[in-house]
Structure 1
Amino acid sequence: MDDVPVSHTKTQELRSFLFLSVVLAPAIAGIVIAGYGFAVWMFQLVAGPPGAH
């Protein structure tokens, strides 16, 4: 068995960092915010607007 560790070049690490910070993090944040807004909207459809009860 070859136990040779895989070495990553600085270019690959920079590319990965930029992808995570520029693409993936904002996309996940947007999905979380949209999901929360959708959940509040659905709750208000069922329970009525704030202050209705």
Structure 2
Amino acid sequence: MTEHPPSQAPKSSRRRELITFLVLAFGIWPIVAVGVVGGYGFLVWMLQIIYGPPGPPVH
């Protein structure tokens, strides 16, 4: 595959790169972010079910 200088990149390559960026920025990464935050929330919820809610130590 031949390398093109950045200013000489073919239009199809720029279009493909733009589409890839849009899919990642507005499709995949928001889903990953929601999954990570939801997974963390679920983990905290399960730990609170097992160990009880946070609060002052019992004397």
TM-score by length of 2: 0.73
1:9 positional shift: 1.0
- Structure 1: gaps spanning 5 or more residues: none
User: What is the alpha-carbon distance in structure 1 between the residues aligned to residue 26 and residue 52 of structure 2?
Assistant: 38
- The number of equivalent residue pairs is 50
User: What is the alpha-carbon distance in structure 2 between the residues aligned to residue 51 and residue 18 of structure 1?
Assistant: 44
CA RMSD of aligned residues (A): 2.1
User: What is the alpha-carbon distance in structure 1 between the residues aligned to residue 37 and residue 55 of structure 2?
Assistant: 23
**Counterpart position of 2:50:** 46
Runs of 4+ deviating beyond 4 Å: none
Q: Aligned letter for 2:30?
A: P
**Counterpart position of 2:40:** 36
Structure number with bigger Rg:
2
TM-score by length of 1: 0.80
Residue 55 of structure 2 aligns to a residue whose secondary structure is coil
1:44 positional shift: 0.1
User: What is the alpha-carbon distance in structure 1 between the residues aligned to residue 42 and residue 18 of structure 2?
Assistant: 35
